[in-house]
Amino acid sequence: MPDNLKDAREKLARANRIIANEGVIDAFGHVSLRHPTDPGRYLMCYSRSPELVQAEDILEFTLDSAPVKPEQRRLYSERVIHGAIYQARPEVNAVCHHHAASLLPFCVSGVVPKPMYHLGATLGDAVPFWDARDDFGDTNLIVRTPEESESLARALGPNWIVLMRRHGVTVAGRTLEELVFRTIYTARNAAVQIQAHVLGNVSPLTEGETGLAGPYNLQPGPVARAFEYWNVRLDKAEGNWRPAVKRAPAAARKSVAKSKSVSKKKTERRERGR
């Protein structure tokens, strides 16, 4: 029987490193995954930069964001973001919080990100904003309390990404693969939007185009293609990639072997004739 929890830990660790390797997440930020067999728990690393996360670093948490087992290592202060979203959205199975440089200008200005090209349609129909000042006044901007995380989850609502004013971004997905895809391409879409405004005459996707392109690009085929690419890039970055060596078909191998055998016998006959 496959070890679902072991596989989930490995996938989550690689997801952390992929998002970091693609330049979306840096020393700060975190990625989580709902437990593969217990929807009342989720998996997340202890407080460590995502680029460094390994499978053995992944811990289990309740949806109240308490560690299932006693843990001496420091935990992410903002893990409550993940627990609150999992409680509010049963269909969400993966969450990422990050501070991508391409999206921070939107968080500061209040300008709404729009889908600029087909892969950017993973933004979804709407991108809400959440401002901690509205409910809590001046804070240190770190989402640490149940009340703050529940307020953020309400702002996300049925959407897939929420911008946190003067702070960062939180992204959700039905699967870990969908989450990684959306996290990477919404950050790239934001960069395109800023660059397009420099040129002027910006023409974002229509609501209809967004509704068609988003689900299309989140199909298994496009997601698998992207993941193969990102995994190879990660392996190259970590020095673990080796190009696959394709073996010739069996018939071809037999033909080559037979040719070598005939050549060897001819050589032996010439040697005996000298």
Of 102, 86, 84, whose CA–CA distance to 191 is shortest? Answer: 102
Residue 118 contacts residue 217 (beta carbons within 8 Å): yes
CA distance 49 to 16: 9
Q: Which residues contact 83 (CB under 8 A, 6 or more apart)?
A: 42, 61, 62, 63, 64, 65, 149
Quote the tokens at residue 38: 């217990």
Q: Which of 78, 148, 177, 178 is catalytic?
A: 78
Q: Where are the beta strands (DSSP E) in the chain?
A: 30-34, 41-45, 58-62, 94-98, 129-130, 161-164, 168-173
Reference 86, options 77, 95, 78, 96; nearest CA is 95
Phi/psi at 25 (5° precision): -120, 145
H or E element, residue 217: helix 207-217
SS3 content of the chain, % helix, strand, coil (to 5): 50, 10, 35
- 78 flagged as catalytic: yes
* Catalytic residue numbers, as ranges: 78
